[in-house]
Every structure is written in structure tokens, then in C-alpha cells.
Structure 1
Amino acid sequence: MTTVQAKPETFDSLNPATGEVVGSHPIHRAEDVQAAVERARSAAEWWAELGFAGRAERLQRWKGAVTRRAAQLADVVHVETGKPHADAMLEIILAIDHTAWAAKNAPKVLGPSRRSSGLLMANQAATVEYQPLGVVGVIGPWNYPVFTPMGSIAYALAAGNAVVYKPSEYTPGVGRWLVDSFAEAVPEHPVFQLITGFGDTGAALCRAGVDKIAFTGSAGTGKKIMAACAETLTPVLIEAGGKDALLVDADADLDGAAEAAVWGGISNAGQTCVAIERVYVHENVYDEFVAKVVAITRGVRPGFDDEANIGPITMPSQLDVIRRHITDALARGGRAVVGGADSVGERYVQPTVLVDVPEDAEAVREETFGPTLTIAKVRDMDEAVEKANDSKYGLGGSVFSRARGMELARRLRAGMVSINSVISFTGVPSLPFGGVGDSGFGRIHGPEGLREFGRAKAITRQRFRAPLTLTTFARTKKVDAQVAKLITLLHGKRR
């Protein structure tokens, strides 16, 4: 009697602009996820044994394939997120640059490096190196389905790990494309695998015995990820949301600041974790700045055609959040100088600029994740910093000031700040990316991002026998006295 295997359940990926089905993908169950992790475990051994040079060669091969086929990948991003094709290309270009940086710099950052042994252990040569963790699970977002997860995927691969990737249920086709293109470049073993599905699939990945989870998404989901990982003491890297602020000083380039505010807050329909959602402007330039923002914002048009500036809201449930924030702001005395309560449609949200919004309004306190800006007048930059920092989030931020940019940037409670630009830190591969508070912890990108996916290993090697040997039961009282005298000479001086 022949046993018929049941077909796996599937779900559809939809174009958020049209509602059309883009593709169908399996809903992977816990046993499917476990099998993928087990395959990754043996693949990780092979991948690690390739060494930095072998992995770099293959990552460069993959990077080249992605570069040559970037327009094709952008098409997939475009139909699954609704964002303009040009914006999809931009995030792909950034991901390519980051992949190249990670592959090139992994040996220098993670390879053996000498450390000072100190006087007491002068006979020891001390080194530290970062060894691969093994298998890394990556749970990615839908808003930047290439650039954001690649900040974990490429860096984890460069560090010598295998990766099991669970993309958002809104962008599984992008994940499929990335994994398939990697398999073409690296066909030998399943070093980079895909699992698809909903929250249960992600939870299964957390419990499947991976050596680390890198998650990007909301703070609420991040807490669930941490709770699931706590069951097996699986370490996590959490990149959650933000409520980023832009500070505009009295001496700022107002044209540049206004352009930055609009692009930083409204590009990608505001669906950016480091989007500018709050703007604090010095009272001396407030009116002029608002007028410039209004003029620019009125020229931003949502749509799915080639001329549209922004796309639809990718996750339909976010429409209710955006509508609630705008309505609450207006009910509390805020004014809409562009857009308003009727800006939220069935798929699209018209850009909305709000002024006179109280600091306790939802539009100021909670992440909106839509094409909205609140602009507030402040008496000086001290007040601006105080209000910007009065948030449970602490991801990114921006400062426009000719004289005080660095000072103000350092005072912002945020993991990253751009001066006289917005979101520029994302385009610098050598800079770490991450936040504090409800914005998460841990870092992707840069040397810090590579080290997140390695295990620090300290090694000492005795170079010669020390005149004062401390690690022996044959140590005498005379040796103890000599050591005590030495420590006193080194560290006991009165200041």
C-alpha cells in the first residue's frame, strides 16, 4: 500500500497596491524548521572550514550575481512591498555594498589579534579570535526586505555561520530570491536556507537549537522572540522600532533640513524603522521651516505607477494605527498643515504634516510607521534634546546645525545620528546599526556587527617560565610577598 504524502499548507503573497497574488509559499511547520536547522548544522562545519578567504570568494561570487540581476530582484521587491522600483534598487545597492564590506573585513575584525599580557603575565602571549557560532536564525522584516535582513545574513555568513532565514510573510518571494541566488553561487551545501510562514514558524526557529537569533521587527514581537529563546538560553539580537527625532537649530540650512525631514519621514511611505517621525525646530526659524516642509510635502504623491514617489502601506493593519494617531493628534488640538484625518485610504496614505501636537499624543509617543510628521516649536536646542530623548525608543536621529552639530548629536539618546543629513549612517558599512530602549539591543553592520556572529575565544601561550610563578601549589610565601610588593609599586601610589 502506497502512502500518499500530504501537501504542505501554503499561503499567498499579495501585491499591496492591487491585491493580486504574487506567489504562493509553504507554511513550514516545527518539524520542517528543525530539519532545516539540522541540515544547516552540517553545512556550517563545511562553511567554517573554508576559512575567511574561501568564504569571501563565494560571497563575492554571490554579490556579483545579485549586482548583475539587481533589476530582477527590484521587481520582486516592488510587487511584494509596493514601493517604487527606484527605492527597491536603492536598498539592493546598499545591501551589495554591505556584503562586500563584510566579506573583505571579516579576517581583520574576527581573525586572531594580539593583546597585552600585562606585567604579571609577561611570560604569556595573549590572543583573541572570533570563531563562528554555528547556525544563525534570521527573522526579517517586510519594509526593507533586502537591505535590513542582509545586515544580519551577510555578516553572519562572513563570520563563518550557516543561516536559516525566515522572511516576513509579506515578502517571502524576496527571501526566496535571495536564497536561490546564493545556492547558485554556492551549490555545495545548504549554507543559506529559507523557511516561510507566519508567527508559529518564527517561534519554531527560536526553539530549533540555533546558536543565535537576529530579529528585526516591532518591540512587541521582539519580546515574544526573547521569551521563546529564553527557553533554551539562545542569545538574541533585537532591532526593533523607532520614533526618531530631527533637531533643527537656528543656524541650520533650512532648505536642506526641510528636504531631509520630508524624505526622512515620508520616503517608503514612512515605513522605515529609522524614519523621522518627530521634528523639533528652534522658534527663530520655525515658521520658515514649516512653510518649506509644506511646500515639499505637497509634491509627494503615492501610487504604484512609475512616477509615484511612495507606494502603498504594505501591511494593511498599519492603516488603522496611522489613522488613530492622526485622529488623536487632531483631537488633542493639533493641526494638519498637509493632509489630515481623511488622508488614510484603503491602500494608500497621503503625506500628512501635523503641528501643535501635544507631547503626550500617540503621534508623538508611539511609532506611527506611516507618511506622517509632527513638527514642534522649541525655545532652544536644550529643550529640543530633552523632548527628543523623552521616548521609550532610541534608534536613530538627525541634527541640522552649523555650529553645534556634533555636540547635539552626542546628547541624543540614540544608537545612530546623522548631522546635516538623514539616515546617512545606514549607507556606511563600517558603522554599527542598532538602538537602545524599546528599539532593541545588539548591533548589525560594521565590526560590531561581525562580532555579533562570532564567539570570542581567548588563548594564552607561555613563551618562557616566569620568575614568579603564581599558578602552582609550590608557590612560596616569599613569592607571595614579592607579588604583593610588586602590586603595591604598580597600583598603590597615592594620587
Structure 2
Amino acid sequence: MKTFPIEKSGIMQRARVASSAWSSHALGTRIEKLAILRRLIVSRREEILAAVAQDAVKVRTEALVTDLLPTLEILKFNEKQAARTLAAERRPGSLLFAGSRAEVLRQPYGAVLIVAPWNNPFQLSMLPAATALLAGNAVIVKPSERTPKVSALLRDLFAEAGFMLSLLEIVEGGPETAAELMAAGPDLVFFTGGEYGGKAIYRLAAERMIPAVMELGGKDAMIVFADADLGRAAQAALYGAFAHDGQHCISVKRLLVENPAYEAFVSDLATGAARLRRGNGTVGDLAAGIDPETARRLQEQIDDAMGRGARLLTPIRKGKALFPAILSEVPAAAAVMREESFGPLLAVVPFDSEEEAARLANDCDFGLNASLWTADRERARRLAARLATGCVGINEVLVNAGHPALPFGGAKASGFGRYHGPEGLRIFTRPKAVLECRHPWAGGLQWFPYDPDLGSLIEELIRLRFGKRESWAAHLGSWLKVAIQGAKRLRRLSENRHLQGGKT
């Protein structure tokens, strides 16, 4: 673990130098280097799964599904799409810029700081790091202090793939280490985690005008209409709410069920939750249990909801809920409907109409993901467009966030910026606008001197280009007059430049 004062270490300057050299390599060279890394991940997957299972308290299958598989899929996608995604982009021309060429270049930021969480420690460190590297940056990763085994493996994997320390550095430590790294002045910070930590990093970024990408928590709603495949939807709700004990940022936290299906649906949910098996390693659906602090925090939300009239559908022991837990008929004002839970607790609410479902789903400060279940595709698309979230799955849950071609990110208090897909690669680059004058005769119309002829020419141009159109013949005649005026002015300016050049 690093012990030196990071702000004095030159870590960011070393990274900028490394980025300059790395980004000068052909994109194909960077892609091949990252392909070596991908193949190493496959060959060392048992070590990775063991580290994730221990650090993040997951069963092996959960680590496979949420840490390893999406990481490899998105790495492969980026390798295939990088050339197209990062290529210079020609932009359309404009009459006001005749004779010019407009394009946008994609350039790396330089030193990128990635602050990663504990819940999916391999995926949420490796993917942003590898994506930033592919874009030409050097990367400093600050993993969670709760994931030392994953941190050590990340360091080994990048080193074995041939990435120099100055190009990819792992810096372990807690919140104070993240603050020191921010003080060292990265060129971009990519943060994944909860709202509290995100706001702390964002304040530090704002003080230094550091661009930031914030992937924060959610309070995701799943909306089930009575015409849906209710058996499949119930299984999806259990998975969406309780996979990894509800400790995914996109876990389902609020379940809205249309009234005709409500009672039978929540009964099936409670029965299904009781069948989930706790275990470890290769045994069980869920890990052995949640930590006492999480249990205490969730119990407070349960007590608050029940005090407002909600029902607990799952068992209790010694006056405390057993997890996973399901609450029914939860009032909108309850804390469990508004505050982050990040644990195996699901709040279920009935609704009567599409309008009410949209209102209930949007009545929340968070807006990360949502899930819609209905046989009516038109209604699903209509409602998806109305939800104030960054992502929506239709007749699917959780996995939409791992689609390699789709951008992932939130709205409102769930953050900003996008990750995955072409947008997720471009977000690690600065767009640079380049305008090239290809024909000198066409440029400089608006240059000094500001004489009356220029003013009348511009006013006539504004009238013709943006005002009400005349008859076709009159319009054409007016344009010809403007063209002749413009050509005369450009010729005069050119002659004056030649005369001035001769005098010098």
C-alpha cells in the first residue's frame, strides 16, 4: 500500500508523460495490448473469482455473472469498435463556412483517476481502466479498501500484460487516499459508488475544475402490468432485487404491480424469497449473510415503513427481519421508497393505471435504471420514454446494464456521464473541433475594416438565409446580389493584403 504523500509524489505528471507516449502508438498496438490483458483474465479466472468471492462476499456464480462475464464481453466489444469510435469525424458544412473542412478529433485526457467500489470490484475497476487505456490515457486506480485481494490481482494482471507502472498504477487506501489523489490533480476522475462518496469527490473536482464522470446509486423501479408473463416477472423480481443481496447499483428496490395481479404476485414473491439458498463458494444463490451495519440500516427502513402502515411479508426472528425481506403496500413517504437501501430489501406498491405507474416510478431523487413488464410493446416503449432514468429494460432486468453497445449511466441523483458502448469509450477523450480553411479566397469576409458595405452585406445575408422567403425569382436575384457583393469585398481585401505585403 502507498504510504508517501500522494500530492507531492508527481504521480499525475508521470501519468501524463506515460499517456503522451502511449497515445502516440497506433490504435492497433493499444488494442493488441489490451487483447493480451483480456486473454490473461480468462487464463487466471479462477484466481479472480476466488478474490472477488472473498472481498465482495459473493458466491462463485454471482462473481462469474456480474464481475467476469460482462468485463470480458465489453473488453471484446471495445477492441472491435475502437477504430470506428475514436476515428476523426467529418462534420457537415455550412454556407457561412464555404471552402472550409470541419472535423472532430478524439484526444485522451492524459491522467485519469478511477475510484472504484467494493460490490463488483473486478468489473468496476478493470473495465473503466481498460477503456481509458484504450482511449490513450494513463490510469491511476483507487480500488475500495475493502477489496485487497482484487487490488493485488489487478496489479499483477496489468503488469503481466506489459503495462508499465507509470501507465497503470494501483493506489490502495480509504477515502483520505482518494482525496489526496484528487489534490494531485488528475485530468479526469471516474467515480463509481454511493451518493455520499460521489458528492465528496465531486466537490473536490469542482474546486480544481476537474472533469468528472459520476456513476452513483439508484432506487430502481420495476413496473409489472397485469398482462405481463407474471411467472417470469416474479422470477425476474427476485433476481433483480436479491442478486448479490441487493448490492448492485441497479438492484430493484421499488416494485410496482398493477392491482389486478397484486395479491397473487406478492404472495409468489414471498414464497420465492423463502426458497433462496444462502451458502458460499459454489453453493447457494446468496452469500452467507449481510454485515451487521447493513442489517441495522435496513431494519430502520423496515421499522419506518411499518410504522406508516406497510406489511412485512417475510419472516422475522427476535423482532428483527430476516433477509431477504419484502415489504408490501409501502407509502410513498417511507424512507425505503426514497433513500438508498443497498441491501436485500424490496418495497412493493400497487398501482391502477399507466399514468400512476409513471408518477410513482419518477417520484424519487434517483434515476439509474428501470424495468418494465408488459405484453403491450407500444405501452412499454411509451412508458420507457417517460421514465426519468438513464437506462430501461423491457421484459428484462439487470442485464440491460451489461449490453456492450448500450451506454450505461444515470439521471438526477444517480449521476452523470456514460459508461459502456461507444459513449463509454469516447467519455475518456476530449473532443477537439478543427476547422480548416481549404480555399483562402473564401475566408475573411467579416475581417476588418468594419465598413458600411460589410454591415449591409451581413444584414441582407441574415434576411435571405433566416427570414421569410420571397418569390423564387426574387429570392434567386437577391442571392446573386449578395454573392456579387461578397466576391467584390473579398477581392478588395485580397488586393489590400497584397499591397500591404509589397510595402513591407
The verdict on a shared fold, with TM-score over 0.5 as the criterion, is yes
Q: Of 183, 187, 202, which residue of structure 2 is paired with 1:207? A: 183
Q: What is the rounded CA distance, in whole Å, between the counterparts of 2:315 and 2:459 in structure 1?
A: 74
Please give the residue correspondences for 1:216-295 in structure 2 after superposition, counting only pairs within 5 Å.
Answer: 216-295=192-271
Assess, with a 3 A threshold, how the Cα gap between structure 1 residues 468 and 377 changes in structure 2: closer, same or farther.
same
Aligned-partner Cα distance in 2 for 1:78–1:64: 21
- Structure 2 spans left out of the alignment, 5+ residues: 471-504
Match of 2:465 in 1: 490
Which of these residues, 389, 396, 399, is aligned with residue 372 of structure 2? 399
The reply on whether 1:57 has 2:55 as its aligned counterpart is no
CA contact (8 A) 2:99 2:443 kept: no
How many angstroms does 1:454 deviate by? 0.6
**2:431 counterpart of 1:448:** no
Matched, 1:356 2:329: yes
Aligned equivalent of 1:438, options 384, 390, 413:
413
* Pair 1:293–1:394, CA change in 2 (3 A): same
Check conservation: 2:110, 2:138, Cα contact below 8 A.
yes
- Equivalent position of 1:370 in the other structure: 343
Does structure 2 conserve the Cα–Cα contact (< 8 Å) formed by 1:43 and 1:189?
Answer: no
Instruction: Report which stretch shifted further, 438-447 or 135-144.
Output: 438-447
1:459 aligns with 434
Equivalent residues in 2 for 1:408-447 (5 A)? 408-447=383-422
Q: How does 1:131-146 map to 2 (within 5 A)?
A: 131-146=107-122
Report the equivalent of 2:363. Answer: 390
Change (3 A) 1:494 1:281: farther
Query: Which shows bigger deviation, 446-455 or 474-483?
Result: 474-483
* Worse-superposed segment, 301-310 or 280-289: 301-310
Structure 1 pair 158/340, CA: closer, same or farther in 2 (3 Å)? farther
Rounded Cα–Cα distance in structure 1 between residues aligned with 2:191 and 2:303: 31
**In structure 1, the residue corresponding to 2:157 is in which secondary structure?**
helix
Equivalent residue, structure 2, for 1:148: 124
Distance 1:454 1:315, change over 3 A: farther
Q: 1:435 to 1:173 in 2, by over 3 A?
A: same
TM-score by length of 1: 0.89
CA deviations 1:41-67 (Å, max 9, x no partner) are 222122111131111110111011102
Residues 390-446 of structure 1 show CA distances to partners (whole Å, capped at 9, x for unaligned) of: 001011010001111111111111000100010232221111111112111111111
**2:20 equivalent to 1:45:** yes
Q: Tell me, what secondary structure is at the counterpart of 2:95?
A: coil
Local SS of the residue matching 1:285: helix
1:475 CA displacement:
6.6
Aligned-partner residue type, residue 335 of structure 1: R
- Displacement of 1:350 in angstroms is 2.1
**2:7–2:184 Cα contact (<8 Å) kept:** no
How far apart are the structure 1 equivalents of 2:93 and 2:424?
27
In the alignment, the residues of structure 1 paired with residue 149 and residue 318 of structure 2 have an alpha-carbon distance, to the nearest angstrom, of: 33
- Partners of 2:81 and 2:3 lie apart in 1 by 35
| Distance change in 2, residues 1:38/1:318 (3 Å) | farther
Q: How many residues align?
A: 467
- State the alpha-carbon separation in 2 of the partners of residues 386 and 33 from structure 1: 51
Moved more, 80-89 or 479-488: 479-488
Cα distance in 1, alignment partners of residues 310 and 169 from structure 2: 48
1:320 aligned onto 2:293: no
TM-superposed CA distance for 1:340, in Å, is 4.2
Verify the 8 A CA contact 1:165 1:192 in the aligned structure 2.
yes
Given that 2:391 and 2:401 are in contact with CA atoms closer than 8 Å, whether structure 1 keeps it comes out as no
- Determine the C-alpha separation between the residues in 1 that align with 2:186 and 2:295: 35
Percent identity, aligned pairs only, is 35
Contact 2:278 / 2:289 at 8 angstroms: preserved in 1?
Answer: no
Which structure has the bigger radius of gyration?
2
**1:414 counterpart SS class:** coil
Q: Distance between the aligned counterparts of 1:295 and 1:103, measured in 2?
A: 44
Letter in 2 for 1:330: M
| Distance change >3 Å, CA 468–CA 232, structure 1 → 2 | closer
Alpha-carbon distance between aligned partners in 1 of 2:358 and 2:152, rounded to the nearest angstrom: 43
Aligned to 1:16: none
2:106 is matched with: 130
Cα distance in 2, alignment partners of residues 144 and 344 from structure 1: 28
1:176 aligns with 2:152: yes
Contact 1:343–1:351 (CA under 8 A) maintained in structure 2? no
In the alignment, what sits opposite 1:115?
A: 91
Shift of 1:110: 2.1
Supply the distance in 2 between the matched residues of 1:326 and 1:366 (Cα, whole angstroms): 12
Which of 305, 312, 316 is 1:329 aligned to? 305
Matching residue of 2:57 = 82
Q: How far apart, in 2, do the equivalents of 1:341 and 1:381 lie?
A: 38
Secondary structure in 1 matching 2:330: coil
Equivalent residues of 1:336, 1:353 under 8 A apart: yes
Give 1:470 shift: 2.3
Residue 306 in 1 paired to residue 282 in 2? yes
Report SS of the residue matched to 1:143.
coil
For 1:174 and 1:343, the matched residues in 2 are separated by 37
Tell me the distance in 1 between the aligned counterparts of 2:190 and 2:316: 37
* Shift in CA distance, 48/379, structure 1 to aligned 2, threshold 3 Å: same
Contact 1:110–1:451 (Cα < 8 Å) also in 2: yes
1:291–1:33 Cα change, 3 Å = farther
Q: Residues 477 and 258 (structure 1 numbering): CA distance in 2 closer, same or farther, change over 3 Å?
A: same
Q: 151, 168, 182: which is aligned to 1:192?
A: 168
Secondary structure in structure 1 of the residue aligned to 2:382: helix
CA distance in 2, matches of 1:176, 1:37: 21
Instruction: Tell me if structure 1 keeps the 8 A contact 2:6–2:181.
Output: no
Note closer, same or farther for the CA distance 1:342–1:165 as it changes in structure 2 (3 Å cut). Answer: farther
1:309 alignment partner AA: D
Q: State the AA in 2 paired with 1:233.
A: M
Do the aligned partners of residues 48 and 313 (structure 1) sit closer, same or farther apart at CA in structure 2, a change above 3 Å counting?
A: farther
CA distance in 1, matches of 2:99, 2:136: 32
Question: Residues 217-260 of structure 1, C-alpha deviation per residue, up to 9 Å, x if partnerless?
Answer: 11111111111222221111111111000001121110111111
Greater share of helix: 2
With normalisation by structure 2, the TM-score equals 0.88
Conservation of the 8 A alpha-carbon contact between 1:81 and 1:314: no
SS at match of 1:277: strand
Q: 1:428 to 1:237 in 2, by over 3 A?
A: same
Distance of 1:53 and 1:236 partners within structure 2? 28
Structure 1 SS opposite 2:97:
coil
